[in-house]
């Protein structure tokens, strides 16, 4: 039987949300008594992740992804429900647990800004009690793989965003964690840095079989790295399955792209049920077409509007996600 790395059951996190009424008098009143309501960040979430899986956690802004990652890594205490990570209850923060996990938050680094990354790594070596030889070997290997060996002694504040993220990854991997939580590791990075970090994570995971939970706003990350995706909306799990099945959630559809000689009439009824996405000022369109209608619908379009190029492909996950974010009831 496969070993389970993470299991949670009915995991819930509620927050007090303070309400401030407008006006000066209300501001003074709020100094004495603050009204609040209870908001739910994560709502009765069940999840099981096997050892060595790379799972993508997806959802719109404010869906509860970061709250979930914080509960998995023990930074915040659940309001109710159960969570076990590598046999530990995360929020107890036992040292044995901390040595087995790592959390990288793209929005919030753990490295000190005013000192070189190397100094932070040395502190982490002490904190995690990493043997000197193993530390040197590991740091050398990670820094080489990420192409930052020459930057270890540069103050973190002087590094570019991409270089800083690479240092954050090294910091999280030095102690050889068994499970890694990556919350938006590529956020704000340019395309090249995104690709480098993506390739590094894929390679690292393949070599080490580490369990990884990843959140990202970039579907390219999810597409390239994750076999399984979990969708979260309003704190609730709405989908858990393979990326292939996710791609076919909207039915057996193909993605048809047509490039025209000149801009065409976007109000024509021919597009009405094909979810058109217009590009190049109306000279190019991307359509979702049911597989069984693909031949006829393509002929109809080409007969009506002079085209210079067209292609069909499997519906990209990005497009499926976009449609689901706009119409979450599809998953009900």
Ligand X SMILES: Nc1ncnc2c1ncn2[C@@H]1O[C@H](COP(=O)(O)OP(=O)(O)OP(=O)(O)O)[C@@H](O)[C@H]1O
User: What's the closest the beta carbon of residue 52 comes to ligand X, in angstroms?
Assistant: 25
Helix (H, G, I), strand (E, B) or coil at 325: helix
Asked if 65 touches ligand X (CB under 6 A), the answer is yes
What is the C-alpha separation between 243 and 229, in angstroms, rounded? 6
Question: Among 61-69, 147-155, 236-244, 262-270, which window interacts with ligand X (CB under 6 A)?
Answer: 61-69
Q: Which is nearer to ligand X, 62 or 306 (CB)?
A: 62
Question: Among 46-54, 64-72, 292-300, 323-331, which window interacts with ligand X (CB under 6 A)?
Answer: 64-72
What is the C-alpha separation between 298 and 20, in angstroms, rounded? 56
Q: Which is nearer to ligand X, 36 or 113 (CB)?
A: 36
Instruction: Kindly report each contact of residues 291-296 with a partner whose C-beta sits within 8 Å and lies 24 or more positions away, as own/partner.
Output: 291/252, 291/253, 291/254, 292/252, 294/254, 294/256
Asked if 62 touches ligand X (CB under 6 A), the answer is yes
Q: Which two structure tokens, joined as six digits, stand for 219? A: 């579907």
Residue 265 vs residues 78, 145, 205, 276, 323: alpha-carbon distances, Å:
54, 51, 48, 12, 23
Residues in contact with ligand X, counted by CB under 6 A, come to a total of 12
Instruction: Looking at residues 40 to 59 of the shown chain, list those that interact with ligand X (rule: CB under 6 A).
Output: 41, 59
Please select the residue that binds ligand X; options are 11, 54, 55, 63, rule is CB under 6 A.
63
Q: Which is nearer to ligand X, 66 or 73 (CB)?
A: 66
Q: Which is nearer to ligand X, 17 or 141 (CB)?
A: 17
Q: Which is nearer to ligand X, 14 or 323 (CB)?
A: 14
Helix (H) or strand (E) holding 35: strand 35-50
Instruction: Looking at residues 6 to 45 of the shown chain, list those that interact with ligand X (rule: CB under 6 A).
Output: 15, 17, 39, 41
Cβ atoms within 10 A of the Cβ of 184, count? Answer: 22
User: What's the closest the beta carbon of residue 303 comes to ligand X, in angstroms?
Assistant: 44
What is the C-alpha separation between 122 and 148, in angstroms, rounded? 16
Residue ranges in contact with ligand X by CB under 6 A: 15, 17, 39, 41, 59, 61-67
């Amino acid at each position: 039987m496969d070993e389970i790395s993470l299991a949670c059951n009915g995991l819930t996190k509620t927050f007090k949300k303070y309400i401030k009424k407008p006006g000066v008098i209300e501001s003074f009143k709020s100094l004495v008594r603050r009204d609040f309501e209870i908001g739910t960040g994560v709502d009765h979430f069940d999840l099981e992740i096997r050892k060595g899986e790379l799972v993508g956690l997806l959802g719109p802004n404010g869906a509860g992804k970061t709250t979930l990652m914080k509960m998995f890594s023990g930074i915040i205490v659940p309001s109710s429900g159960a969570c076990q990570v590598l046999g530990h209850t995360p929020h107890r923060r036992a040292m044995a647990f901390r040595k087995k996990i790592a959390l990288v938050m793209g929005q919030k680094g753990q490295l000190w800004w005013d000192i070189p990354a190397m100094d932070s790594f040395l502190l982490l070596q002490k904190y995690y009690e990493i043997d000197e030889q193993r530390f040197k070997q590991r740091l050398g290997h990670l820094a080489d793989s990420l192409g930052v060996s020459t930057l270890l002694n540069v103050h973190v504040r002087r590094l570019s965003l991409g270089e800083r993220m690479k240092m954050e990854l090294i910091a999280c991997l030095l102690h050889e964690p068994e499970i890694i939580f990556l919350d938006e590791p590529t956020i704000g990075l340019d395309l090249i840095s995104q690709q480098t970090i993506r390739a590094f994570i894929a390679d690292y995971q393949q070599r080490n079989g580490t369990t990884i939970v990843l959140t990202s706003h970039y579907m390219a990350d999810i597409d390239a790295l994750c076999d399984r995706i979990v969708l979260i909306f309003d704190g609730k799990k709405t989908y858990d399955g393979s990326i292939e099945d996710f791609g076919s959630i909207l039915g057996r559809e193909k993605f048809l792209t047509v490039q025209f000689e000149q801009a065409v009439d976007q109000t024509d009824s021919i597009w009405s049920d094909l979810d058109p996405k217009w590009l190049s000022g109306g000279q190019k369109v991307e359509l979702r077409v049911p597989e069984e209608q693909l031949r006829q619908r393509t002929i109809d379009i080409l007969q009506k509007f002079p085209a210079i190029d067209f292609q069909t492909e499997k519906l990209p996950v990005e497009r499926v996600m976009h449609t689901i974010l706009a119409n979450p009831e599809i998953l009900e």
